[in-house]
Every structure is written in structure tokens, then in C-alpha cells.
């Protein structure tokens, strides 16, 4: 893929009123995002992945008598028989749930963009902390949006950054003039407080939040906001997140394939149920009156007596669902965002996400089985149950995994690798169909990394759910 940094450096904006940024660099970045060249390290990782999968499949075939004996031993013991019943039930539920999602995914279509006349006024809020020049790139890509200038308000909040983020916001202000308003928090208070200030300053009928390490396509805002016009019950919309730093290592490549499946399959299905569970911080839109109704509760939210400084996106989504609104996904509203490039940044990001998941599933339990909206609630309840199954089974499955490794290490690794090959073929085929075959195989590598290198995240996040801290936003 062409170097993203060099492309960004070509942005120019004239100071004459009504002019917009040049669009070439944005279109080129999005056009080439799935065409990154294979480096020697990539080749090594992919070859290792396939060798492991082949070895796993071969061992499963060769060790069939041992697997049969293990199964017989379990059936003949009370504990083993109970284990088989429980795991089989979970597999049936998971399989049925996947088919349920597949049914709704196949019916999904994004809402078509509406005309300029129908578009509501929109305020875009960009909170930033230690983002440096990337904040400038983000603001200029937003200013380049194909959205009526008279209906678009841009607000950027520097949350007490310790680097030159404020300088780059000022540079963006020089170029954009009255189109952009910039504010500086006196100290770092967290993303939630920066957004809170932006919400209170906003004048638009629709609020859009964009992370300061993201780039949007020129038609993204129009696509993101259109569902609010066509659906009066729409309270929030999730954007379609892809990876910006796709050419910066194997982890971003893996995450890009994972994101595509997570958004374009899972959230597409959730959207058909009116129950997308999380509008991502990278790109989300909210109906003004829905936000203002829950804003005091949101900014003062606590968990186990501690102020909540993570999971502001999932919390806002929950509070809007609770009001009876639908939360949708727009596949045609693309955003590229930076992701961790090293293992340490990756596991910290996942810990933050999982802690938020635990907290907000507890909150969702307070309303999901009540009459929280007039339309069907079955889908939202099934999504909730699926979320809780992952949490409830985290510790038992971790203990059983350790026991299996100690007792039958070869059987464990061979069966696990074979399972990865079978199950990960779903996102592989999905990405290959949506984009290209070459990068789709990163789904196999990602599954191996998560299974053997990140399996501890959920149990750890459950045990430390009350801990505060963003974890991944320090200075380089």
C-alpha cells in the first residue's frame, strides 16, 4: 500500500470561503487500503500459520483413536458426560446464533444517502489527546465532506494534550476559519469529558463523534446521517471502521480483516434488529434529543463507586437503546482509524474493551427484558444472552483448557488448530468475497494469535472490571 503519511502530506486547503480540501489523497488511501504489499515478515507469519494449520489437521487425522478413547472416557464418567452435554448445548446455540445472524446479514442493505435539502444540521465533535499532527489530518478530512457547509458544524476539543496536538488544531483553524471551532481543556479529564463539552457546545440536530486518529471519506457524513431522516425511530448510527495504518505491521493487517467481519457482518445483522450494541468511538452519530436526555446520567456514570472513564461509546449506545430508539449500522459510512501495531498496545486495547463490555452488559440487564421499546425486542435479548454466555463461560473454559493441556497436550493443540482452521474460514471467505483473497488469510493468523496469546483477556477483564484508565493513549 502507498505510504499513508506521504499521501496525507499532500493535503491543501485554500482559504477562500466555500472551497474544500483536495479529495485525491483520501480516495487513494481508501482505494488502496486492501492492497498492501506482502513483506518478508508477512510472508513468514503466513507460512507459519499455514504450517501450523496443516500440522493440526494432520495430527487430528492421525490421532483419531486417541480422540475416540478420550470421548469414551468422558461419556463413561459423570463429570465427563456433564461436560459433553454443556459443550454440545453451547455449540448448538452458537451455531444457531450464527445462522440467525447470517439470515439478517443477507437481508441487510445500507440506507441510501438523502438529498442536501433533507439532510439535518450536523455537529461533528473530535476529541483529541496526544494525537499530534494526526488531529490535523482528521479535521481536514471532515472539512472535505460532501455535506452542505451551512448545515455542518465542526468542533475539536484538545483534552489537555502533552504534545503538539493543540498546535495542529490551531493550524487546522487557520485553514478552515469559521468552519471549525477549537477548544482546549485546562487538564486531561478523559475522552468522556471532552465529548461532554462538545455535546453542550453543539447546535446540530445530529451529533457525530470522530476519533482524532481517523480519516473519513468525503461521502461518509452524508451516509452516516441519512438513516435519521428515513427512520424516525433511529437514535444512533454506527460507522464502518477499517484500519488506517494497515501497512505498519502484521497486527494491523490482522485487525483489518477482523474489523471487516465485526462491522460488515455482525453489526449489519444487529442493525436489522435495530440493536447494534456499540457505536464505535471512531465514527458514530446520535440524535440530539436522545443524547441530551441521557447526558447527565452518562457524564456521571459510575461502576462500583468509581467514575467511568472508559466505554463511553458502549454506554451511550446502551442509554439510547434503553430510551426505545433503534441503533443502526451504515456500511457505506467508512472511516479509517489507527490501531495498535505491537502486542502490548493490542492487549491493552482489548482489556479496555472487555472491561467496558462487562460493565455495559450489567447495565443492559436492567432494561433488556423489560418493555423498553414498542418494536420487537427479541433480537436485542438474543444479542444480550450471547454476550453474557461469553462472560459466564470465560473462567470454566479457561480452567478446562489448562486441564486439557496438562493431560493431553498434543490432542489439545491439534484439535484447537483444526477448530481454528474450520471456524476462521468463515471470516476468510467473507473478507475474500467483500474485498480480496490475498489479505483474507490474515483471519487465520489473527485467530491463532487470539487463541494462544490473548485468551486471558476476558477472564482478566472480568476480575479487574472496576479498574480505571485508558491504557493506550500515552506519548510515544
User: Could you tell me the CATH number of the domain that includes residue 215?
Assistant: 3.90.550.10
* 381 found inside a domain: yes
Answer whether residue 85 is part of any domain.
Answer: no
201 found inside a domain: yes
Q: Would you place residue 363 in the very low, low, confident or very high pLDDT band (cuts 50, 70, 90)? A: very high
Q: In percent, how much of the chain has pLDDT > 70?
A: 91
Number of domains in the chain: 1
Return d(Cα 63, Cα 46) in angstroms, integer: 26
Quick check: is 194 in a domain? yes
pLDDT at 25: 55
What average pLDDT does this structure show over 142-167?
97
Q: What is the pLDDT of residues 283-320, one digit of tens each?
A: 999 999 999 999 999 999 999 999 999 999 999 999 99
**What letter would DSSP give residue 267?**
I
Integer Cα distance of 433 and 428 in angstroms: 9
Specify the pLDDT at position 181. 98
**Would you say residue 86 lies in a domain?**
no
User: For 290, which DSSP code?
Assistant: H
CB atoms < 10 A from the CB of 96, how many?
A: 11
pLDDT value at 125 more than 60:
yes
Rounded Cα–Cα distance for residues 342 and 251 (Å): 7
Question: Is 98 part of a structural domain of the chain?
Answer: no
Query: In the prediction, which pLDDT does 79 show?
Result: 80
Look at residue 73 and tell me if it is in a domain: no
Q: Please list, in sequence order, all residues whose beta carbon lies within 8 angstroms of the beta carbon of residue 253, skipping any fewer than 6 positions away.
A: 36, 42, 243, 246, 439, 442
Residue 328 lies in a domain: yes
pLDDT digits (tens, 9 = 90+) for 22-57: 456 566 556 655 556 678 899 899 999 999 999 999
Average pLDDT over residues 73-79: 82
> Percent of the chain scored above 90 by pLDDT?
83
CB 242 within 8 A of CB 257: no
Q: Which domain holds residue 234?
A: 1-62+108-476
User: pTM for this structure?
Assistant: 0.90
Residue carrying C-alpha cell 504489499 = 37
Please tell me the distance from the alpha carbon of residue 444 to that of residue 451, in angstroms, as a whole number: 11
Q: Are strands 214-216 and 206-210 parallel, antiparallel or unpaired?
A: unpaired
Tell me what the mean pLDDT of segment 162-190 comes to: 96
Strands (DSSP E) along 322-460, which ranges? 326-337
Q: What region, left, alpha or beta, does residue 160 occupy, with left being phi > 0 and alpha being psi -120 to 50 degrees?
A: left
Q: What is the pLDDT of residue 8?
A: 38
Amino acid at each position: 500500500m502507498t505510504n499513508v503519511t506521504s499521501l496525507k502530506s499532500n493535503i491543501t486547503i485554500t482559504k477562500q470561503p466555500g472551497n474544500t480540501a483536495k479529495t485525491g489523497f483520501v480516495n487513494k488511501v481508501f482505494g488502496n487500503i486492501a492492497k498492501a504489499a506482502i513483506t518478508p515478515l508477512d510472508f513468514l507469519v503466513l507460512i507459519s500459520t499455514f504450517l501450523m494449520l496443516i500440522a493440526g489437521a494432520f495430527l487430528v487425522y492421525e490421532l483419531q483413536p486417541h480422540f475416540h478413547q478420550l470421548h469414551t472416557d468422558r461419556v463413561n464418567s459423570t463429570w465427563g458426560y456433564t461436560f459433553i452435554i454443556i459443550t454440545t448445548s453451547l455449540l448448538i446455540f452458537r451455531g444457531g446464533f450464527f445462522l440467525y445472524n447470517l439470515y439478517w446479514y443477507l437481508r441487510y442493505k445500507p440506507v441510501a444517502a438523502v438529498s442536501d435539502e433533507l439532510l439535518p444540521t450536523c455537529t461533528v465533535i473530535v476529541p483529541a489527546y496526544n494525537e499530534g499532527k494526526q488531529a490535523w489530518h482528521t479535521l481536514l478530512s471532515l472539512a472535505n465532506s460532501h455535506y452542505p457547509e451551512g448545515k455542518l458544524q465542526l468542533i475539536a476539543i484538545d483534552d489537555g494534550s502533552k504534545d503538539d496536538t493543540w498546535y495542529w488544531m490551531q493550524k487546522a483553524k487557520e485553514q478552515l476559519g469559521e468552519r471549525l471551532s477549537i477548544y482546549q481543556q485546562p487538564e486531561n479529564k478523559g475522552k468522556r469529558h471532552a465529548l461532554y463539552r462538545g455535546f453542550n457546545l453543539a447546535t446540530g440536530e445530529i451529533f457525530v463523534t470522530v476519533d482524532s486518529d481517523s480519516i473519513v471519506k468525503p461521502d461518509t457524513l452524508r451516509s452516516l446521517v441519512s438513516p435519521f431522516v428515513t427512520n424516525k425511530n433511529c437514535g444512533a448510527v454506527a460507522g464502518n471502521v477499517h484500519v488506517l495504518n494497515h501497512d505498519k505491521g502484521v497486527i494491523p493487517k490482522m485487525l483489518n480483516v477482523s474489523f471487516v467481519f465485526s462491522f460488515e457482518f455482525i453489526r449489519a445483522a444487529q442493525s436489522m434488529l435495530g440493536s447494534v450494541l456499540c457505536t464505535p468511538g471512531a465514527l458514530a452519530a446520535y440524535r440530539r434529543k436522545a443524547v441530551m436526555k441521557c447526558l447527565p446520567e452518562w457524564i456521571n456514570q459510575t461502576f462500583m463507586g468509581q467514575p467511568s472513564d472508559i466505554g463511553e461509546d458502549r454506554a451511550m449506545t446502551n442509554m439510547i437503546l434503553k430510551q426505545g430508539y433503534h441503533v443502526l449500522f451504515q456500511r457505506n459510512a467508512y472511516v479509517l482509524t489507527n490501531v495498535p501495531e505491537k502486542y502490548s498496545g493490542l492487549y491493552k486495547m482489548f482489556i479496555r474493551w472487555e472491561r467496558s463490555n462487562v460493565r455495559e452488559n450489567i447495565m443492559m440487564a436492567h432494561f433488556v427484558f423489560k418493555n423498553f421499546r414498542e418494536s420487537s425486542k427479541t433480537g436485542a435479548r438474543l444479542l444480550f444472552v450471547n454476550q453474557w454466555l461469553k462472560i459466564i463461560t470465560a473462567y470454566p473454559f479457561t480452567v478446562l483448557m489448562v486441564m486439557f493441556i496438562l493431560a493431553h497436550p498434543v490432542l489439545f493443540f491439534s484439535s484447537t488448530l483444526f477448530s481454528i482452521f474450520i471456524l476462521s474460514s468463515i471470516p476468510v471467505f467473507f473478507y475474500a468475497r467483500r474485498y480480496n483473497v490475498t489479505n483474507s488469510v490474515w483471519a487465520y493468523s489473527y485467530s491463532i494469535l487470539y487463541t494462544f496469546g490473548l485468551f486471558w483477556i476476558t477472564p482478566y477483564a472480568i476480575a479487574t472490571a472496576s479498574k480505571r484508565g485508558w491504557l493506550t493513549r500515552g506519548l510515544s
